[in-house]
Amino acid sequence: MCSSDLNGEMCSGCSSGMSLRGVALPELKVFTAKRMRLGSSDIALRPLLSTMPVGSRRSSSASWNPSWTVSMSRHRPLAPVVGCALPRPGAVRALLGQAGAGGQLDAAIRDAVALQENAGIDILTDGEWRRASYIGVIAELAHGFEVGANPADGRPWTIVVDKLAPMNPGFIAAEVRYLKTITNRRIKATLPAPALLGERMWSAEKSIAAYPTRDSFVADCVPILRREVELLREEGVAVVQIDDPHLCLFVDPEVRANYDHPDRAADFSVDMVNQIVEGFGDIKIAVHLCRRAGARARGEATHAGGYTPILGQLNRLKVNHLTMEFTTPAAGDMAVFKHLREDLEIGLGCVSCDPGQVDSADEIVARVETALQYLAPTRITLNPDCGFAPGSAAKVSLGEVATKLKNEVEAARRLREKYS
């Protein structure tokens, strides 16, 4: 994510800028000139994709076909390319929480969609541009949270301080509802895993009066998130992805050593996800196993170890798709696919989300062909390792993201040509 802020600082990934009330904003080379009104000021943004063909943007009359919600395994191209979160420009982040900013966010999201469509993405997202963070969205769905900033680095910080109560059910479903008006491509929506929320948002100091244990808080997150899946199904979403970096903690021997019963903790994470998704057999449910991609982007330590220690948990998940990161050597050998249920599709993390690392189409093809030693082509989708906004402080630029996605789509084209 671009880290430009209201003090006029520019992130390390931005080479030039424009100003809004003295704020330096990234000049996105793939944008064409357009005006976007932010409060009382105008900002000259460069809307996404100067190369976008005339008419490729969708109007509010875009045709939506409910049949696209059927399993991705049916009537799909070989190796479909799946979109993800995009870096939020400073101008977009400045809009979050502003009263009356919905129209400006809509305009920004049209550009996020145009970037993905122009790259050739088959299943896209809104970039998660209506959210301050991928886990903080829970505070949009329920009362009971204290929202602030981490004093150490200023990133969004959300702590549970009261019993949860539904506040705005359908917040994520509304993201999809808007996307349906501007694109005719299939749509993916994401929500955080309950155990992840427990790991990040329960505090012994601040939460214990409402929830004496972390697990009791996690259990109360389940009905909130399950209701969101129900509403997403009603909207006709193609894929619901549950982001679960917490489960992926247990691949790391050092992390496991800190738990008296690491497998029991991993089982609890799986049980909570299963309670959310059970009974939704008519939509694609994915679990994303994240290896602290945000930490990698910040140059911090990430979790090492192949997926073998959690194979039992992965095979117990009542989902039909796993998104697994494989651009980092720390992820281990793809031979692990031999030990997964045969009904599981694999979203192969084959594009790095790290700033400055742009995988060529040749490199992406090579990763997929390694996976093809263990998986049928129809079981694979192409994914970036993680979102390009893994955490609120990611610094990859939108221009770089566009290049990464275009290389991924080119790799998919070559694979389809070779294996169809």
Token pair recorded at residue 348: 């192969």
Angle between helices 398-419 and 102-119 (to 10 degrees): 40
Token pair recorded at residue 198: 């427990």
Q: What is the pTM of this model?
A: 0.82
Token pair recorded at residue 240: 């619901």
Fold of 65-419: TIM Barrel (3.20.20)
Q: What is the pLDDT of residue 148?
A: 81
Task: Answer for the pair 400, 358: CB distance below 8 angstroms, yes or no.
Answer: yes
Q: What is the pLDDT of residue 44?
A: 29
Q: How far apart are CA 237 and CA 205, in angstroms?
A: 39
Task: Answer for the pair 79, 144: CB distance below 8 angstroms, yes or no.
Answer: no
Nearest to 85 by CA among 197, 211, 192, 170: 192
Token pair recorded at residue 16: 């030039």
Q: How far apart are CA 156 and CA 73, in angstroms?
A: 37
Q: How far apart are CA 290 and CA 324, in angstroms?
A: 7
Q: How far apart are CA 89 and CA 105, in angstroms?
A: 12
Q: Where are the beta strands (DSSP E) in 15-58?
A: 17-20, 23-26, 34-38, 41-45
Q: Where are the beta strands (DSSP E) in 261-385?
A: 284-289, 321-325, 345-351, 380-384
End-to-end CA distance of the chain: give it in Å, rounded.
36
Question: 410-415: long-range contacts (C-beta < 8 A, 24 or more apart)?
Answer: 410/361, 411/350, 411/361, 411/362, 411/364, 411/365, 411/368, 411/382, 412/77, 412/78, 412/79, 412/80, 412/81, 412/120, 412/382, 413/120, 414/361, 414/365, 415/78, 415/79, 415/365, 415/368, 415/369, 415/377
Where b means 16+ CB within 10 Å and e means fewer, 340-372 reads beeebbbbbbbbbbbbeeebebebbbebbebbb
Per DSSP bridges, beta strands 186-192 and 123-124 are parallel
Q: Per-residue confidence of the chain (420 residues) as pLDDT tens digits?
A: 333 222 222 232 333 332 222 223 333 333 333 333 333 322 323 343 333 333 344 433 344 343 333 344 444 668 899 999 999 888 998 998 899 999 999 999 999 999 999 999 999 999 999 998 889 999 999 999 998 877 776 777 899 999 999 999 999 999 999 999 999 999 999 999 999 999 999 999 999 999 999 999 999 999 999 999 999 999 999 999 999 999 999 999 999 999 999 999 999 999 999 999 999 988 999 999 987 655 545 555 566 789 999 999 999 999 999 999 999 888 899 999 999 999 999 999 999 998 899 999 999 999 999 999 999 999 999 999 999 985 555 578 899 999 999 999 999 999 999 988
Report the amino acid identity of residue 363. E
SS3 415: helix
